[in-house]
Amino acid sequence: MAESVKKLIKYENPMRALLSLSDKTGLLDLGRELLQLGFELVSTGGTAKELRDAKIPCLEVSDVTGFPEILNGRVKTLHPGIFGGILYDRKNPAHKGEIEKHDIGPIDWVIVNLYPFEKISMENKVNKSEMIEFIDIGGVSLLRAAGKNFESVVVLCDPADYGKALQELKDNKKVSLESRRALAAKAFGHTAHYDAMISRHFRHEVLDDISNLKSGVKITTPIQNEASLFPSELTLGLKKLNDLRYGENPHQKASLYQETGVRAWGIVHAEKLQGKELSFNNYLDLDAAWNIVNAFAGSPYKGAACVIIKHNNPSGTAVAETALSAFQLAYAADPISAFGGVIGCSSTVDKEAAQEIAKTFFECVIAPDYAPEALEIFKTKQNLRILRQASGLLLPYELDVKKISGGFLVQERDLQLSAEDKVVTQRAPTPEEAYSLGFAWRVAKAVKSNAIVLSQGSVTAGVGAGQMSRIDSMKIAFSKMAAARLEPLEVSPSKISGIKSHITKLPLVMASDAFFPFRDTVDEAARAGVTAIIQPGGSLRDQESINAANEHGLAMVFSGMRHFKH
């Protein structure tokens, strides 16, 4: 039978399409269209069955090869009768002679998509030993073969392209070389992405084993070196979500991609409930807002956290009993900078908070949820983007990747807070000062270097960001404090663990993301009313700064860990 099938294919039909589809979207319409255009259809088992059930005639691959599927379907299409038909150069007489000698019929269209490895992996319902069965071998090889021979073969890996390719064939009697090349590029991108997902899956398995070993969990699988976090060849999978209006500036084109092969988390997966399209800069600021409010999850700072982001820096941050009071305090910390900013909230935005937010122009709000009354209020601000995204903690091996000219910088994410919190001055911080220092340190970690953050309790009093000199950052922070509406700040420290319930004005403290190279920052801080400082330490002149703090009666804490953010 196989011999007669080969002759039927070779001599009766001028065009042949091979179909092997995991995602069968559009399959039946495609099959009917191809038949009407004179194609012979060759399919693998599941695809062939669906076509035949719809009364669409097709041959199975085994009919062409004369060899059955083996090894539970692991080997189906890997045969010269298939790959010879795809790969032979139609302009090469020697190739043509070999094809005729072995009675191999040409395959002109290859329509393939792959086992859903990423989807199955992310569902986490299949054990490790079974996951390998979702690694596609033949499908990847078919796409690569067809892509390599794009001058003669049309390769389709995306149902969205079926209609365009068919229409071009109908209109022009062929699919142009330019279109075939573009489809080949897409196929190679698809297989590269697929391999990236598999690589990531195995790399994460190794890193999970390392994490389990560190946690004291007994494991039986071999442990690779921790260099697995930064392998010699690192593959990243990115899938386009949509085009953006433009990039950082109107003359720059931009698109949004999601990282694939990882759990759905972060700004990319936030649900937009209303408002105009998000811009490139909106995404950057929303990411900063979301990360800062997440920093207070599980911390001693209980209540609702709110941050207002402007140009990727927090202009004001606060933790308070309600979403309303947290927003009011964050806004009051720098009302001028807050205008046109992006708001991040750690708790549900209720009616009262929405009413207050709606009084001022903001670009975006992101929160884990919104009261129905809040959403009704926001509808009056049609251009205000409202996003919903739950908080989420990072896995320890999720990487921070930054593009530079000609390559990428890859590092671990900055997830740690402090290494020691060592008191280095004669005076230790009071409980009130320690509370304020911890808050300021969490915010300073998210501010562009050089970073200085002033706080009173769980409210920023002034933020100095991104200056070439640390003393300049400090001066900016104090200028912000002078313009803020926080003085005098009367709060109840009853919410502060270990402090007796009474009304008091909390002390002004300062956090610096890196050490002080000179004592001048300490001297200036003391003159401005700061009573306690937290900084990493590590300067050759640390003792000078300590001496200055002692002279002024300040408490100083070394965190033992810096947090540069460029």
Active site residues: 148, 311
Show the DSSP H helices in 110-151 as ranges.
117-123, 128-131, 138-148
> In sequence order, which residues have a C-beta less than 8 Å from that of residue 225 and are 6 or more positions away?
none
Q: Are strands 39-43 and 59-60 parallel, antiparallel or unpaired?
A: parallel
Q: 223 and 240 in contact (C-beta within 8 Å)?
A: no
Which is nearest to 21 in space by CA: 165, 119, 130, 139?
A: 139
Quote the crossing angle between the two packed helices 93-101 and 80-87, to the nearest 10°: 160
Q: 198 and 139 in contact (C-beta within 8 Å)?
A: no
| CA atoms of 391 and 247, how far apart (whole Å) | 26
Which is nearest to 398 in space by CA: 248, 309, 291?
A: 291
Which amino acid is located at 377 in the chain? Answer: I
Quote the crossing angle between the two packed helices 520-527 and 470-483, to the nearest 10°: 10
14-23 burial code (b ≥16 CB/10 A, e <16): eebbbbbbbe
| CA atoms of 414 and 398, how far apart (whole Å) | 10
Residue 444 φ then ψ, to 5°: -60, -30
ω before 450 within 30° of 0 (cis)? yes
Q: 58 and 51 in contact (C-beta within 8 Å)?
A: yes
ω before 488 within 30° of 0 (cis)? yes
- Token pair listed for 211: 């994490």
Q: 328 and 466 in contact (C-beta within 8 Å)?
A: no
How many Cβ atoms are within 10 Å of 409's Cβ, its own excluded?
A: 9
